[in-house]
Amino acid sequence: MTLLGPWLNFYQDPWFWQFPIATIAISTGTFVAFAIPWTLLAWFNPKAIQKYKIQDKEFEFKQFFWPSIGRLFTNNLAMLGILILSWPLIKLTPIHMGEMPAWYFIIPQILFFIFMDDFLYYWMHRYFHENKWLLKNVHSVHHRIRNTCGINGNYMHWIEFCATASLMLLGPVLIGAHLYVVWIWVVIRQFEAVDGHAGYDIPWNPAHWLPVYEGPVYHDFHHAKFKGNYAGFLPYLDRFMGNTYVADYLSYLKGKKNGLTPLAIAKALKVKRPAAKTTDQAT
Ligand SMILES: [Zn+2]
Ligand SMILES: [Zn+2]
């Protein structure tokens, strides 16, 4: 009974509602909020923005819209289960609701989370591709979609989803962040998850203001070509980790510098979808 105590009473602990539950709610809510405009855009695919589409083919809307919603639900449910099971340990982490740090501490903390998460994600993602079992049984789910739109961002195996979410929490746990700072970071991380799958490289995407980010095109080429471009968000890592860029992605950047539209480059590069499963099969 004493051993089971922390589990039996977890739901009576206000910190349980403030930390894991509120964080999951914010995470899911912001993902959906960021995904809605990009998904609507992909759905209607208005003529005026078709020239900004990264791949010269239709979105896989019919096959993967509802499966994406389904997996968003089941993946978050799996994460909730893990958080409940590990609650006695999570309670011990130094994440807190004490005094809010000054903005000049918050900004470096957030930058640390972004760069550390992206670095770890690069290696985890590369391992998902190098380990045959993980690739076949886990990561291949996310790769069923070759031409993604916003809502597809969390379409993945629950093991990959939980590993990605845990990676995200590592930075805040390491430095003992304030919970509100964790929430700011969660919002940014979900922005990353949606933007990388947007499917369009639109000049007025606010993400282009970010200095070290190239926009959705970086991760889009990972889906189109399967090998290379392993970081989650920041394209600089592939350069330093043995030049793991997708070759066509570098050609794309050159074409863009020369003033070509994404669609013109896609036609020139023939960014075609390799043969793939097109249904959401149980894993
Ligand atoms: Zn991958
Ligand atoms: Zn992806």
* Mean pLDDT computed over every residue of the chain: 90
Sequence-separated contacts (24+) of 159-167 with Cβ below 8 Å: 160/128, 161/71, 161/75, 161/76, 161/78, 161/79, 162/75, 162/78, 162/79, 162/82, 163/124, 164/121, 164/124, 165/27, 165/79, 166/82, 167/117, 167/120, 167/121, 167/124
pLDDT at 274: 47
- The pLDDT tens digits for 17-66 are 999 999 999 999 999 999 999 999 999 999 999 999 998 888 998 899 99
Centre of ligand 2 to C-alpha 198, Å, is 10
Instruction: Please state the pTM of the whole predicted model.
Output: 0.90
Q: What's residue 210's pLDDT?
A: 84
Beta bridge partners of 96: 178
Ranges of each domain in the chain: 13-269
According to the model, what pLDDT value does residue 31 have?
A: 97
Question: What is the spatial distance between Cα 160 and Cα 138, in angstroms, rounded to a whole number?
Answer: 7
Task: Assign residue 265 a region (left: φ > 0; alpha: ψ between -120 and 50; beta: otherwise).
Answer: alpha
Among the bound ligands, name the one nearest to the CA of residue 220. Answer: 2
Residue 105, exposed/middle/buried by CB under 10 A (0-12, 13-18, 19+)?
Answer: middle
Nearest by Cα to 110 from 31, 164, 171, 23: 171
Ligand number, closest to the Cα atom of 68: 2
Residues above pLDDT 70, as percent of the chain: 93
Q: Which of 100-109, 115-124, 183-192, 253-262 has the lowest mean pLDDT?
A: 253-262
pLDDT of residue 207: 85
* CA 194/CA 171 separation, integer angstroms: 21
- What's the CA-to-centroid distance between 142 and ligand 2, angstroms? 6
Q: How far, in Å, from the CA of 203 to the mean position of ligand 2?
A: 21
Angle at the Cα of 225 from the Cα atoms of 223 and 228, rounded to 5 degrees: 90
Closest residue by Cα to residue 143 from 203, 256, 64: 64
Q: What is the pLDDT of residues 138-195, one digit of tens each?
A: 999 999 999 999 999 999 999 999 999 999 999 999 999 999 999 999 999 999 999 9
- Widest distance between CA atoms in the chain: 69
